[in-house]
Amino acid sequence: MSSSVKVVVTGAAGQIAYSLIPRLVDGKTFGNKKVNLTLVEIPQVVEKLKGLVMELEDSYFPNMGEVKYTDNFEEASKDADWFLLVGSIPRGIVYNGKKIEERSDLLSINGGIFVDQGKAIGEHGKANAKILVVGNPANTNAFIGKNAANNDSQLWMAMTMLDSNRAKSVISKKTNTDISDVTNMIIWGNHSPTMYPDSENVCINGVLGSEAINDMTWVESEFIPSVQQRGKAVIDARGASSATSAAKAAIDTVIACENPTPSGICFSAAIASDGSYDVPEGIICGYPLMTLEDGTVDIKRDIALSDFAKSKFQISIDELLEEKEAVKHLMK
């Protein structure tokens, strides 16, 4: 075995984590590396993780290293290479005697969690640690965490890969194309119903969507709303939010960051804006990304946006700015 990687997963007793964690140690996500896991839960739930650890041991994963579980995030974060921040308080539950229904309440409660986790990551995580926020509201949680971490050598991301994968599936059906021939499915903006899935720059068998699809009525009235609302449709159908597809998307994001991106290709995640594509600096915004040979992840800056795309993207940027305003009390 060549080397090892330490991965911290929060929300480890939740439904996404149950699909996610075995895939981290299956020898595909991190190749030949030994994977040491630290699983984190809230104190009320943490003992359940004993059962998950037993199952992992019983599964015979040759690449699995040490597996620990804890409710102490600060301790967990020491020298970690990857943080998969899945844990968050979902909408609809009663928290401190109040039912959490408003997005502003959700932002505030989860924001508090991400201040503490961000501080710990900035102080104790590896200098080149990568952090993928899955727990919603993912972009603004990542924004809060990054600010609290105050460590610019670390990379904070919010997950939009699930939206990208969903959009690829819709495009492959519409164009009768094998899904493996659909690439560069960019999700611009926020991981929320304002996201803009880009049907013009998607690549279908080497042809841009703007040429291959050629049906803007379908794009506006079916494609965009179906991708934006797919999370809700899954909840309505199964009575719980997407889990196995969310776990697969988190794994896809890790793999995309661990391996150089082939020339001309990009993948989707949200990272801090540096002003690219006229997005105000600092907000965690869905972009086309690429991983360079040295392992750094950068924005792909040569994508052309039509006036239609710009107007849709702006709606999501405006929402991110509103969320930023709603959590300003959590910023230093």
Q: Where in 154-173 is the site for ligand NAD (CB under 6 A)? A: 159, 162
CA–CA–CA angle 129, 112, 313 (5° rounding): 70
Under the binding rule (CB under 6 A), the answer on residue 90 touching ligand NAD is: yes
Task: Please indicate whether residue 191 is annotated as part of the active site.
Answer: yes
Residue nearest to ligand NAD (CB): 14
The two three-digit tokens of residue 236, written as one number:
């309505």
Contact 196, 167 (CB under 8 A): no
Beta bridge partners of 6: 36
Which ranges of the chain does DSSP label H, i.e. alpha helix?
Answer: 15-24, 49-58, 73-76, 103-124, 138-149, 161-175, 209-212, 216-218, 224-228, 230-238, 244-258, 307-326
In the chain, what are the helix, strand and coil shares in percent, each to the nearest 5?
A: 45, 20, 35
Radius of gyration, alpha carbons of the chain: 19
Other beta carbons within 10 angstroms of residue 209's beta carbon come to 22
Figure out which of the listed residues 5, 8, 16, 132 binds ligand NAD, where binding follows CB under 6 A.
Answer: 16
If binding is defined by CB under 6 A, does position 14 make contact with ligand NAD? yes
Which of 42, 208, 315, 326 is in the footprint of ligand NAD by CB under 6 A? 42
35-43, 200-208, 213-221, 278-286 -> range binding ligand NAD (CB under 6 A): 35-43
Specify the stretch interacting with ligand NAD by CB under 6 A; choose among 5-13, 179-187, 273-281, 312-320: 5-13
Site string for ligand NAD, 215-254 (x = CB under 6 A): --------------------------xxx--x--------
Q: Which of 130, 146, 191, 300 is catalytic?
A: 191
Distance (Å, rounded) from C-alpha 247 to C-alpha 16?
Answer: 5
CB of 184 to ligand NAD, least distance (A): 19
11 near ligand NAD (CB under 6 A)? yes
Distance CA 247, CA 149 (A): 25
The binder of ligand NAD chosen from 118, 122, 125, 135 (CB under 6 A)? 135
Q: Which is nearer to ligand NAD, 119 or 191 (CB)?
A: 191
Out of 39, 86, 132, 224, which residue is the one contacting ligand NAD (CB under 6 A)? 86
Beta-strand relationship, 94-95 and 203-204:
unpaired
- Of the pair 88, 175, the CB lying nearest ligand NAD is at 88
Instruction: Report the DSSP beta bridge partners of residue 36.
Output: 6
Chain residues binding ligand NAD by CB under 6 A are: 10-11, 13-17, 40-42, 45, 86-90, 113, 134-136, 138, 159, 162, 191, 241-243, 246
Which residues does the annotation mark as catalytic?
191
